[in-house]
Amino acid sequence: MHRDAVASGPNAVVSVGQLLERVAYLPAPDATKLTEAFRFADQAHLGQSRQSGDPYITHPLAVAEVCSNWKLDAEALMAALLHDTVEDCGVSTQEIAERFGPSVASLVSGLTKLDKLQFQSREEAQAENFRKMFMAMADDVRVILIKLADRLHNMRTLVGVSCEKRERVAKETLDIYAPIAHRLGLNEVFREFEDLCFEGLFPKRYRVLSQSLMAARGNRKEIIGRLEQSVTEQLPRFGIEAHVSGREKSLFSIYRKMREKRLSFAEVLDIYGFRILVPRLSDCYLALGALHALFKPSPGRFKDYIALPKSNGYQSLHTVVIGPYGTPIEFQIRTHEMHRVAEAGVAAHWLYKENDSAVTPLQQKAHEWMQSLLQTRGGEANELIDHVKIDLFPDVVYIFTPKGEIRELPRGATPVDFAYMVHTDVGNRCVAALVNGQSKPLDTELRNGDVVRIETRAEANPHPGWLGFVKTAKARAEIRHSLKNHTRERAISFGRRLLDSALKGVGLVGIDDPTLNWSQLFAEATANDREGVFEAIGLGHMLANVAARRLAPIDGSALLAKQLNPYAQAALRLSIEHLTQADIGISINGSEGTAVQYASCCFPIAGDNAWGFMRGGAGLLVHRASCPMARRQRSKDAARWADVVWGDPLFRVFQTQLDIEVNDEPGVLAKVAAAISACQANIVDISIEPHAGGLATLAVAIEVKNRLHLADVLRRVRRNKTVHRATRRTKNAGASPGM
């Protein structure tokens, strides 16, 4: 006979009998299955206790109770009862599948942590657990609903755990689970999560604020009653049948407002809000008019979430009015159906049917969002939580396409985020953006109502700098994926050229020489094929001259065996062994992409005497030959350095720095900029530093094609009468002033 488990205390758990009463909406056969699942879980957890001292079975019962409030189906409720049996009791997923069906087993599997695997850190384990959970919930939303119910009961019963664990669990809940609940429209759960996390992270602040709020209730109760009565009497005059109720804002929202605006509790006036529920959508706007006729609206404090619903499906009218005592009061106006969705979100009407026609717009949005999380699963495990946090923005902006379609993006999103939302190819080929008809930088923060047009170019590719400002997980994942593939292609091409040049430098035909000993190189290197060797060389993991020596035939080169006597062979072998990358030289034409970088200490440009440094895993870093830093490093490790030969034609422009001394007078900046633009040079950055005597120095970063182009720019700038001196910056490079 099973135990009729009941927990004690303020968070009392229902008994199994009470749970069955709560799920009266289920057919009788399903209730029987639920009873069987409880008995199985009760037996599995026999002898186990929670840290509070209560029998462990009280926890799955509580989780099932929360799920029953959302009217979840029998499979979900059985999974809620069984969710810890695999993890804590040694029950196999196969056994659950045989007794309760594959769907229940799948749900339990999605909820089970990966404790049996070994991880290098708690963070890595956490990331892998989240990865599995998100993959499961993308297939079945019930996984996350049960997980939220599980976490809710754990947060309600944190008493008895250590301070360290309480803070860790509270922070994880606030960072991940609370935003997920909000994103799925579970606003009641979201608000309770926030308050419970507030208490877990800052117990003293929670206690003081809670006491202050209880004291304020008595002082403000009469005021709230009068306001509620005024609104209740006003609405019928406009022919509106409505239910009006006052509500107290959550402790965490009050605390957050105090912290953000640096207010004391006494200065927070709007700790109460009102909700107006009406039968029909049209009544929402009628009630808004009636309310504004009674109280003056606060300018700029009205939001229409009915016309533009939130990403979680939330719909309501929000307005802030000035009350009779001069205090701001927030009102939310919505229909009863909107209220049901607002409180229970996706759980309010998620139907587990095969008929796709039953899927509501809210369910479709939730499904699309959960599917988008799967785009991050190809990256590193520890990136997953960052991706999820980025995509859990509670605030959104609504952006229009040129055709008038509305797209929803997180606040702070940029045209690049918009481009990737339209299509991955649009994002990857994005080169410019028009916002409301005006050309704007790609890192521009978009605002509500902006109309965005993306300009693309077939040969364009994502820039690594985009990762510094994009806000959506989709954009970030696609950029990283494209950069990884593009970098590999460029590295293979660049490495092929380096190795071909190195082989020719030791007297061989090149990479197509049939006498090359590739098997020997594969045995000594981590690469398994030629492309792997080219990539390793292009990224700096392997030096081209070292690879050339390994690839040379046993006698050193094809020439040794055929043309040289033994003494000459020995001399040539010695020369090969002492061959450095510098003896070979590296040809660069600007098509290498991220495989070649240009040092910011000296800003080399085409035409400069330059050296390249092969960095392990980071490709080639080009310095000017006059750069003191490059000279010091080359003297320590000459084998990794090579002379740079500039190709013709070149396929990129180069950034350099100018120092321009001018008269500090109005319009001088425009004159200098005009002179630079007249030479078709792009200005990247410009700043001005005033000096004594009416002079100032302009620090200008520009893009030029080569040294000849730079010379034209300097000549044009020096012709201006306001300019005293214009030079290429050499302070960091240690070179002489000028060209």
Q: Which residue shows structure tokens 């749900």?
A: 107
Of the residues 452, 471, 490, the one at which a domain ends: 471
% of the chain at pLDDT higher than 70: 75
pLDDT tier at 132, thresholds 50, 70, 90: low
Of the residues 471, 500, 534, the one at which a domain ends: 471
Q: What confidence score (pLDDT) does residue 335 get?
A: 93
Is residue 78 domain-resident?
A: yes
Is residue 673 domain-resident?
A: yes
Asked if 175 is an active-site residue, the reply is no
- Residue 270 sits in which domain range? 204-347
pLDDT tier at 524, thresholds 50, 70, 90: low
Where is pLDDT greater, at 577 or 663?
Answer: 663
Shared-domain flag, residues 302 and 434: no
Shared-domain flag, residues 322 and 463: no
Where is pLDDT greater, at 268 or 58?
Answer: 58
Smallest CA-to-CA distance from 473 within 319, 370, 332 is with 370
Q: What confidence score (pLDDT) does residue 510 get?
A: 79
Contact predicate 414/435, CB 8 Å: no
Backbone angles phi, psi at 450, to 5 degrees: -65, 140
Shared-domain flag, residues 568 and 658: no
Q: What confidence score (pLDDT) does residue 3 get?
A: 43
Shared-domain flag, residues 152 and 41: yes
Q: What confidence score (pLDDT) does residue 137 get?
A: 61
Shared-domain flag, residues 195 and 264: no
Check whether 4 has a pLDDT greater than 60.
no
H helical segments located in 391-526:
415-422, 424-428, 473-505, 518-524
Shared-domain flag, residues 563 and 499: yes
Shared-domain flag, residues 341 and 235: yes
**What's the chain's length in residues?**
739
pLDDT tier at 509, thresholds 50, 70, 90: confident
Cα gap 115→553, rounded to integer Å:
52
pLDDT tier at 592, thresholds 50, 70, 90: low
Shared-domain flag, residues 46 and 184: yes
Q: What CATH number corresponds to the domain at position 423?
A: 3.10.20.30
Q: What CATH number corresponds to the domain at position 699?
A: 3.30.70.260
Is residue 369 domain-resident?
A: no
Q: Which range, 8-17, 148-157, 353-362, 467-476, is most confident?
A: 148-157
Contact predicate 657/699, CB 8 Å: yes
Is residue 450 domain-resident?
A: yes
At a CB cut-off of 8 Å and minimum separation 6, what does 479 contact?
420, 427, 462, 466, 467, 470
Gap between the terminal Cα atoms of the chain: 93
Q: What CATH number corresponds to the domain at position 74?
A: 1.10.3210.10
Q: What's the average model confidence in pLDDT over 17-43?
A: 86
Q: What confidence score (pLDDT) does residue 725 get?
A: 92
At a CB cut-off of 8 Å and minimum separation 6, what does 469 contact?
414, 416, 442, 443
pLDDT tier at 420, thresholds 50, 70, 90: very high
Q: What's the average model confidence in pLDDT over 339-366?
A: 58
Cα gap 355→347, rounded to integer Å:
18
Q: Which of 73, 87, 175, 513 is catalytic?
A: 87
Shared-domain flag, residues 416 and 535: no
Q: What CATH number corresponds to the domain at position 266?
A: 3.30.460.10
Is residue 384 domain-resident?
A: no
Is residue 367 domain-resident?
A: no
The pair of structure tokens assigned to 111 is 């909820």
Check whether 219 has a pLDDT greater than 70.
no
pLDDT tier at 193, thresholds 50, 70, 90: very high
Q: What confidence score (pLDDT) does residue 591 get?
A: 67
Shared-domain flag, residues 642 and 721: no
Shared-domain flag, residues 403 and 317: no
Smallest CA-to-CA distance from 588 within 630, 517, 648 is with 648
Of the residues 588, 622, 646, the one at which a domain ends: 646
The pLDDT mean for the chain works out to 78
Q: What confidence score (pLDDT) does residue 7 get?
A: 40
Q: What confidence score (pLDDT) does residue 545 get?
A: 67
- Per the structure, the count of domains in the chain is 5
Cα gap 170→176, rounded to integer Å:
10
Name the least confident of 31-45, 86-100, 118-132, 434-448: 118-132
Check whether 737 has a pLDDT greater than 60.
no
C-alpha of 548 from chain center: 43
Where is pLDDT greater, at 517 or 123?
Answer: 517
Is residue 663 domain-resident?
A: yes
Asked if 87 is an active-site residue, the reply is yes
Where is pLDDT greater, at 670 or 385?
Answer: 670
Give residue-wise pLDDT tens across range 389-408.
555 544 677 788 888 777 87
Is residue 674 domain-resident?
A: yes
Q: Which of 36, 88, 304, 337 is catalytic?
A: 88
Where is pLDDT greater, at 481 or 554?
Answer: 481
Q: What's the average model confidence in pLDDT over 274-279?
A: 91
Q: What confidence score (pLDDT) does residue 559 get?
A: 43
Shared-domain flag, residues 598 and 666: no
